Amino acid sequence: MATHGHSGSGHPDPLHGIDETHDPNLKSWVESANDPATDFPIQNLPLCLVETSAQDPWATAVRVGDVYVLLEPLRDAGLLKGLGIAWLANPQSEFVEVPSIRSACRKRLVELLLADSKELRDNKELSARVILPVDGASGTGAFDEEPPIAPSNYTDFYASIHHATNVGSMFRPDNALLPNYKHIPIGYHGRASSIVPSGTSFHRPVGQTSPPDSDPSAGPGFGPCKLMDYELEIGCIIGRGNALGSPVSIADAESHIFGLCLVNDWSARDLQKWEYVPLGPFLAKNFATTISPYIVTMEALAPFRIPAYERPASDPRPLPYLTSDANTARGGFDIALEVHLQSAEMAKRSMSPVRLSKGNFRHMYWTFAQMIAHHTVNGCNLQPGDLLASGTISGPTRDSRGSMIELTWDGDPFANPPKLVPGSQRTPIELPTGEKRTFLADGDTVIMKAYCERDGYRRIGFGECRGTVLPART
């Protein structure tokens, strides 16, 4: 993507929202924020909620380096004066809904955290109330953290053409993509009540499974899921909603986005196979969906915008309501994504998690702007705090596949010529302990990570999205 006059010098770029807060030379008096390896330099400032007995039960904060900066006491002390900030964690607050207020707050926070800024740093009484170390203080242990907004509505999309083609090829080798895929962003409404914060463990789900292929007349089985899987996704948090009956145009769609987070949309593949026809996912999905605790704002992501996925000339052009010059030019995000796994045995031996895959969000066929435009074109009213998930993110190579059902599958529809092997033929993943995995086992912990890198800018990250599979309840 062209830099349009910005090369890390701090000069504003109104077209892309790049300004002095993205200057890679900025340093903070919070020394850990200056570590090149941190996910949380002063150029990021993602939001989260922190639970601590030393403060209000849940305090709104930004993460910088290895500390939280609590925003309410900062506001109450008058250091965020005039920015229109009331109750920050309320989804209906102007801070969430209005990008200009969010941008002004970001600039003020950067100003307060700069290495040569004394206003907060030298106010020892205030900084003691505002700054909390992530790993706790005075032996209290690490603080609990959650996303700053609890979604009341959840929509899951299917926006990766590589994922859709891989999975479709397992079951329909001659017709992997259904006719509608390249015309509309496919999605379904999920269950918001079972969205859980990173670090939450959950029990393996129980439900019905399809009759055995060898004896269809036997009837369905019932019991714990045997094909437990993860799905690597990016979540979009809605900032400004729209009135019922009033569609959001694609030109205006991004002004409705608060920020992005990581999502693991756990999937019980064997339950899903039996139940998804004709109405789609149900018990195979609604037992748990894990989201990361940090929302990386659209303002922080501005330097990492890229053109939307370039469709082959033979693909149909999206209808006009799904098309805009801005979406074509910068509808994508350059976000590197990783999935790591640690088995119970690995944890017992103090072995580090092993990386299973590495991909990038740039390969998504549909953009978030297109998802929002399509979601609302019939008049559906999105609300502040709603979660829209991208669907599993897979790339063109085997090591960039975003789910275990794809990683262990031996087929490759993107090979030349395509290698379409029946779905029953799989190569298990071998862990450093010698354990093998085709799907997840009890005690497995899945850790997802994401970060953005670009020459001339500081690397920023999303933290972790982590969850552990527990045995099914008997």
Catalytic residue list: 163
> 279: Cβ–Cβ under 8 A, 6 or more apart, which residues?
none
Q: Which amino acid is at 413?
A: P
> In this structure, is the dihedral angle defined by the CA atoms of residues 147, 149, 150 and 152, taken in order, positive or negative?
negative
Cα distances (angstroms) measured from residue 380 to each of 247, 301, 363, 367, 375: 7, 27, 27, 18, 7
Cβ atoms 166, 259 nearer than 8 A: no
Distance CA 360, CA 297 (A): 18
Distances (CA, A) of 361 to 238, 308, 394, 455: 19, 10, 8, 18
Give the helix/strand (H/E) hosting 448.
strand 445-452
User: In Å, what is the CA distance from 216 to each residue of 88, 208, 212?
Assistant: 55, 14, 6
Residue at token pair 């990008």: 99
DSSP secondary structure, 126-150, as one string: HHHHHEEETT-STT--PPEEE-SS-
In the Cβ-directed half-sphere of 411, how many Cα atoms lie within 13 Å? 23
Considering only CA atoms, which of 224, 146, 228, 223 is closest in space to residue 445?
228
Output the CA torsion 234→189→264→306 (10° steps): -10
Residue by residue, DSSP assigns 240-294 as S---TT-PPPTTTGGGGEEEEEEEE--EEHHHHHHH-TTT--STTTTT-EEE-S-
3-state secondary structure of 411: coil
Provide the residue type at 307 as one letter: P
